Amino acid sequence: MKKKDEARDVYDAVADPTRRELINILAKVEELPLYELTDQFQMGRTAVSKHLAILKDAGIVISRKVGRETRYRLNAEPLQEIQDWVTYYTKFWNEKKLLLEKLLEEEDKMPTVSLDFQFTSSIERVWLALTDSKMLAKWVMENDFKPVVGHKFQFRTEPNKFWDGIVNSEVLVVDQPTKLSYTWETGGENTMVTWTLKEVEGTTHMHLEQTGFENEGNEYNGAKLGWVKMGKQLEKLLAKQ
C-alpha cells in the first residue's frame, strides 16, 4: 500500500506546470535558495514554498538549512517511477506503430483500380450523375442509392452463371461536390470505391480509385474493364444533357 501512495505522490507532484518548472530549474544547478527560485516566477515566496513542499513530500526535492537560509536541490531518483512507466508505454506504442506500418505496407502492395475521366459538363452535373439514383442506373446499374453517410444500398443487374448480379454497398463519405465513397462487396471481394471531382477551367476532372483487392485476379481485371466501359457510358449520358 505504501508503494502505491509513493507512486501517486510522484505523479501528483509533477502534474502541476509550476512544479515541473521548479524541477527543470533545479536540474540545471547544484542547489538554490528560496529567494532565487521565487525570482523566476510571477508569484510570491509563500506560493513557491507550497509547491516545493509538495515536491519534498514526494522526495523529488531535498532542502537544507544554511544559516537562516533554506536551500533546495533536486533528487531525481523518485522520477525513475515515471521513467519506467513512460518506457513501458513507449514500447507499447512502438509495437503498435510497427504493426500499423506493416499493415500500410501490405495495403500499398494491394492492387488498386485507378482511372481518370474528363468531362465538359459542370462539376455539379457530374456530381448529380454520381449521386442521383435514376442517373446512376443509366450508366452503372439499377440501384437504391442515396447520398447519405451510412445508407446501405445495392447495385443490381441481370445475373449470369458466374455472378449473381448484386453489389452490396454502404455510403462512407459524402462531400458535395468533390468526394464520394462507398463500399463495394461482390464476387467474394470487399472493396471501396472513391470518386474525387475537381473543376479546372471549365473541365470537370473525375478520379476513381477502387481499393481492397487481394490480387490482380479476375475480380480486379473485371472491375477495371467495367469502370472503363461505364465511364464511356457516363460521357455519352452527360453529352445528352
pLDDT tens string 113-129: 999 999 999 999 999 99
pLDDT tens-digit profile of 10-62? 888 888 999 999 999 999 999 999 999 999 999 999 999 999 999 999 999 99
User: Residue 101: exposed, middle, or buried by beta-carbon count in 10 A (0-12, 13-18, 19+)?
Assistant: exposed
Q: In whole angstroms, how far apart are CA 182 and each of 8, 145, 151, 190? A: 49, 10, 9, 11
What gap in Å lies between CA 17 and CA 220, rounded to an integer? 56
One-letter identity of residue 182: Y
Q: What strands lie across the sheet with 203-211, from one edge to the other?
A: 113-119, 203-211, 189-200, 179-186, 166-175, 152-156, 142-143
pLDDT tens-digit profile of 145-184? 999 999 999 999 999 888 899 999 999 999 999 999 999 9
Percent of the chain with pLDDT over 70: 93
| The domains spanning 2-80 and 106-240 adopt the same CATH topology | no
- Please report how the helices 45-57 and 2-15 are oriented relative to each other, as an axis angle in degrees rounded to 10: 150
Segment (H or E) for 211: strand 203-211
What gap in Å lies between CA 29 and CA 178, rounded to an integer? 58
> Residue 214: what are its φ and ψ, rounded to 5°?
-75, -35
> pLDDT band for position 109 (50/70/90)?
low
Beta strands 32-33 and 189-200: pairing type?
Answer: unpaired
pLDDT for residue 106 is more than 90: no
What gap in Å lies between CA 162 and CA 175, rounded to an integer? 35
Torsional sign, CA 16, 22, 23, 25? positive
End-to-end distance of the chain based on CA atoms, in angstroms? 78
pLDDT for residue 191 is more than 80: yes
Mean pLDDT of 63-87: 89
In contact, 115 and 217? CB cutoff 8 Å: no
Torsional sign, CA 54, 58, 63, 68? positive
Q: Taking the domains of the chain in order of start, what are their residue ranges?
A: 2-80, 106-240
Mean pLDDT of the chain: 89
pLDDT at 150 (0 to 100) = 96
Looking at the domain 2-80, which fold is it? Arc Repressor Mutant, subunit A (1.10.10)
- Domain 106-240 matching CATH 3.30.530.20: the answer reads yes
Closest residue by Cα to residue 123 from 162, 176, 165, 80: 176
